[in-house]
Amino acid sequence: MTPADLSRTVLHTVRCAVEADELSAAVPDRAGVRVPPHEGCGHYATNVALRLAKESGRPALEVAELLRRRLVAQPGIAVVEIAGPGFLNITLDGPSHGRLVRELLAADERTEPFPLRPAAESVRRLGEDAARWSLVTPPGADRGLLLVQRESNPLFRVRYAHARCRALLRNAGDLGFGPQVAEGDEDFGEGGAGLLAELTEHRRIAGARDPDRLARHLERLAEAFLRWQASCPTLPRGDEKPSAVHRARLALAEATGKVLADGLTQLGITAPAHL
């Protein structure tokens, strides 16, 4: 279940509660879901109960419990818990994170590149890859940033994240171990949930064949990976020996690099292993 699917499920649940006269409120146009800021709080969270409480005149915790009972009965949802003043933390029923990583590594992506045709002047000024990225740059953004190799350049960030994934694999090879994730070996560390949430979205976004959405997704994925890598050691340190945790985290890095490379290829942009 994707975040968009979950949002529709939450709205359906609210609508059913209203139609059953359990809740007196207008059904909102959308129900925002997001990855919780802390580990162990489910896959996604929504504040829809807090929003409905004010209109219905009922306590937020009461509305949250009403929606919790209905949501947990929906297909694809395993656990719904109430947190804080009335947030709903939702754990999805589906493939484990380890299985997701294995599926991404096993997938044979052969997506046709988008027919992005930058103008000759743009290619001359920016280079082929940056000129293609400029075609999926949001209106009003500074395209001059594409000329600099620094964090403010979104294309550089995406390619840098891919290069870091490749570097981790090379360094692990030098240490004598490789990526492997088995059922139960899913300690992906702090920040892993956000990175995995972006990876879960990749196949759906890539299949939508929308280059602008794909570019924004690659930016979010690169950012999630770089945050995860900064807070979560992937390689052994000092005299530490490689463990199942290191192998699992290396597999997550490899899957991320593969998805970044696939996305760049779909945009007709190269994904160098070194930057």
* Residue 53: Cβ-neighbour burial (10 angstroms; 0-12, 13-18, 19+): buried
pLDDT in tens, 105-121: 888 766 788 999 999 99
Average pLDDT, rounded, for the chain: 88
Largest Cα span, the chain: 64
Cα separation, 142 vs 138, in Å, equals: 9
Hey, how many other C-beta atoms are within 10 angstroms of the C-beta on 175? 12
pLDDT, residue 30, reads 82
pLDDT in tens, 254-270: 999 999 999 999 999 99
Report helix, strand or coil for 24. coil
The crossing angle, in degrees rounded to 10, of helices 60-71 and 3-19 is 110
Domain ranges of the chain: 3-92, 97-266
CATH of domain 3-92: 3.30.1360.70
pLDDT in tens, 118-145: 999 999 999 999 999 999 998 888 888 9
| DSSP assignment of 194-259 | HHHHHHHHHHHHHHTT-HHHHHHHHHHHHHHHHHHHHHS--S--TTPPP-HHHHHHHHHHHHHHHH
Could you tell me the CATH superfamily of domain 97-266? Isoleucyl-tRNA Synthetase; Domain 1 (1.10.730.10)
Opening angle at CA 136, ends 221 and 146, nearest 5: 80
The answer to whether the beta carbons of residues 93 and 35 sit under 8 Å apart is no
* pTM of the predicted model as reported, rounded to 2 decimal places: 0.69
